[in-house]
Amino acid sequence: MPKVRRVPQRQCVACGQVRAKRDLVRVVRTAQGDVRIDRTGKLSGRGAYVCPETACVDRALGEGRLARMLEREMPDDIAQGLRDAMARPAPQRPPMVHRITLAQAAESRERSKHRGGLL
């Protein structure tokens, strides 16, 4: 039986709501001090998460919450990028259960080839 993995959770800096990491927009301050929107969730550096909703983005930027979390002022292009990110749906990955099922199916096919003498 496959081991069920938990879904990583993160908290929005604006509203405080805890959601799945992939449902939030990550803004990261890199080691060089640059602030970027991290669409992959894998950039190295200090990150902060914001819900992809107008109210949360406005609150995070307007009240300086994002700047405080990242210990950097927010460049105008990042503010605009966050607003643009709300307009585009986030790329969807298949759920973990689906990916495990696909891996198990491939493994099963390989085993049956070995048993049947095909390899």
Question: 102: number of CA atoms within 13 Å, CB side?
Answer: 6
More confident residue, 21 or 84: 21
- CATH value at residue 66: 3.30.1230.10
| Cα distance between the two ends of the chain | 26
Query: What's the mean pLDDT in 36-53?
Result: 92
109 part of a folded domain: no
* Average pLDDT of the chain, as a whole number: 82
Predicted confidence band at 7 (pLDDT cuts at 50, 70, 90)? very high
Q: Report yes or no: 5 and 96 within 8 Å, Cβ to Cβ.
A: yes
Residue 117 lies in a domain: no
What's the pTM value of the predicted model, to 2 decimals? 0.69
Range of the domain at 78: 9-93
Q: How many domains in the chain?
A: 1
For residue 107, being part of any structural domain is answered with no
114, part of any domain: no
- Residue (of 15, 20, 64, 70) closest to 43 by Cα position: 70
- Considering the domain boundaries, does residue 36 fall inside one? yes
Asked if the structure places residue 17 within a domain, the reply is yes
